A and B are shown apart, each in its own frame.
Chain A
Amino acid sequence: MSAREAAEAARVARHLLRRRRWRPLEIAAWAATLALILLVPSRALLINEILILGLFALSLDLALGYAGLVSLGHAAFLGLGAYTAGIMASRGLADPTLGLVVASLVAGLAGLVTAPLVLRGTDLTRLMVTLGVSLMLGELANRNSWLTGGADGLDFTIGPVLGQFPIDFAGRRAAALYSFAVVFALFALARRVTRSSFGQSVQAIRQNRLRAGALGVPANRRLVAMYGLAAAYAGAAGALLAQTTQIVSLDIFDFHRSADVLLTLIIGGPGYLYGGLIGAAIFVGLRDALAGATPEYWEFWIGLMLVGLVTVGRERIEAALKRFARRLRPAPRREAAP
């Protein structure tokens, strides 16, 4: 490498390092969430639901927002993770951490295996293939009720987290704290990965695959890796869901789960990692409030808000939010050009 190339590489590395630094607003948001769980236990379960959906949406963000692969069947990985954790617990391997790790690995593996299917064809092809795979898995789960409990569902008891903190009715906060810890850790990891050279290369591939390939980036390999990671994250979300509720049933492969997570991510905005979590907070919060007010017709109001959101202009709202967020960032230091 020439001196000029080395200087350029160093500049990129410094830039990435700066982007990896945590902003005060971010730290405040995570701390506030933790405080909410500890101080308002009556909402702990709702926050648990938000965190799990947020993690699921985060996993879709990795696939869609970063790798540019749309999916209408992301629930396939959610379900794989959930059933893995559930089956393990019902067969005696009830430690939550173990279940979480194995579930993520199983889902991640499935992601790597199905990634080639997803790389072919157009967006419509991708939507249909992913949908088809999730529906097929649902059917398989239904057929093999000896393993999955079939339509009755699989109920089981989970061991205490780290051997100390049981997740049950008395330990409702424990469920939320467990989810918080897992989601935060996975988020931090994803944040690190997307702001690494690997993450940058994947985004480059998404923006212009031809150009990225011309630059020598092994496009397919990188996309497969990112998709596998996204699947593993979805599997972790599924494991959390199974473990904190101690039941898994066939509805986890349903189309509406994949549709809900897609909506959640779109509401929050793909491509900057927080979109999934923000979207989940909005979606679950709204749904709970509306369902409390009108248990039969709350869907109508959610639909109305979605239509309104799109007509007003999602991008305009996002741009406004980003402008606001930027104002709370420390002013970037100017670097002298080489």
Chain B
Amino acid sequence: MLTILFDGVAYGMLLFLLACGLAVTLGLMNFVNLAHGVFAMGGGYVTALLMNRAGIPFLATLPFAFVVPALVGVVVERLLYRRLYGASPLDQVLLTIGLVLMAIPAFDYFLTDQPQQIHLPPFLQGRFELPGLTIGAYRLFLVVVCGIIAATLQVFLVGTRFGAQLRAAVDDRRVAAGLGIDVGRLFAVAFAIGSGLAGLGGALAADVVGGVDPNFPVKFLVSFLIVVAIGGSRGIAGAFFGALLLGVLDVAGKYYVPSIGAFVIYAVMVATLLIRPQGLFAKSGT
């Protein structure tokens, strides 16, 4: 039972890492970025290719898995997203789905459509057997890394000046701009960080979800959206707890009632949104 709880927490942490970028984009820029999964997939491929083709050790590839999607994010933001900040959500949906439709065959064409596997270094394999609780080494690694990142993000948002500016821009963009905050640059940086985190999440998730393949953005889009919807799209704290809740419920649901399976998370999401439409952990009011 404790093992399942631990597994659920690990899965939830991973979901958080993947989805927090989306929470930032949605909450900060009110931009419906359905192409978020593409950045996650990109990070996964960076790690897989560096490891499998260039022989670089797993941990060393992780910084690249963050940086490359972040840079791509900056380019995409400058070229495309920037034009649509004020546009209707429908246009944003159209654009981002278009990007996903382009990305999947493009990755398939240049790479292969078979999932790329990531082989973990030996010290991350294996498990620790305690009475009543089995802790997988990699899952422990995930919990630690994601926890550190989450804590860092929170400190960053709350404790630094940049973070304060970001929060101000979220609350009221016009007033923040009026105060002389360079909102455009803020958005670019926030988007880059969000995409980079997604990429890192994709690299870390690759082992757990059976490899990186071009269909990744579509397969997990629903999970990301659920995290953001449950957690509320205002800040990352909501996404964090939302992701944990989702992870635990999903894993526990499948263990205890395997016949119901995926039904659980959908039902929980719908129920949550009925009771608190703005998400469980958001500040009340839109």
- Give A contacts to B, CB under 8 Å: 70, 117, 120-125, 127-129, 131-133, 135-136, 139-140, 143, 255-256, 259, 262-263, 266-267, 270, 296-300, 302-307, 309-311, 314
Contact = CB atoms under 8 A, between A and B. Distances in A.
B109 to A, nearest CB: 6
Contact of B269 (A128, A259, A300): A128
A135 B94 CA distance: 21
B90 A266 contact: yes
A297 B97 contact: no
Nearest to A255: B222
Q: Which 8 A-B pairs have the closest CB atoms?
A: A121-B277, A303-B101, A306-B98, A303-B102, A128-B229, A300-B105, A307-B98, A132-B270
A259 B226 CA distance: 16
Contacts of A302: 98, 101
Interface residues of B, number: 44
A263 B80 contact: no
A310 B94 contact: yes
A121 B270 CA distance: 12
B267 A136 contact: yes
Contact of B91 (A127, A298, A314): A314
Contacts of A314: 91, 94
Listed residue (A121, A128, A302, A311) with the most chain B CB atoms within 10 angstroms of its CB? A128
Contact of B266 (A135, A296, A298, A304): A135
Contacts of A127: 225, 229
Given A131-B222, A255-B221, 20 more contacts: A117-B273, A120-B273, A121-B277, A122-B277, A124-B229, A127-B229, A128-B226, A131-B225, A139-B261, A139-B262, A255-B218, A267-B94, A298-B105, A299-B104, A303-B98, A307-B99, A309-B98, A310-B91, A310-B95, A311-B95
B102 A124 contact: no
Nearest to B89: A123
Listed residue (B32, B103, B270) with the most chain A CB atoms within 10 angstroms of its CB? B270
Given A70-B89, A303-B100, A306-B101, A121 B273 contact: yes
Q: Is the interface of A mostly helix, strand, loop or mixed?
A: helix
B94 A263 contact: yes
A302 B261 CA distance: 34
A311 B80 CA distance: 7
A307 B81 CA distance: 11
Given A136-B266, A306-B95, A129 B273 contact: yes
Q: Is the interface of B mostly helix, strand, loop or mixed?
A: helix
B263 interface: yes
Contacts of B267: 132, 136
A307 B105 contact: no
B273 A125 contact: yes
Interface string B77-96: 00010011000011101110
A255 to B, nearest CB: 6
B189 interface: no
B270 A117 contact: yes
B106 interface: yes
A128 B266 CA distance: 9
A306 B277 CA distance: 31
A136 B271 CA distance: 12
Interface in B214-230: 218, 221-222, 225-226, 228-229
A76 to B, nearest CB: 11
A31 to B, nearest CB: 31
B33 interface: no
A127 B93 CA distance: 11
B278 interface: yes
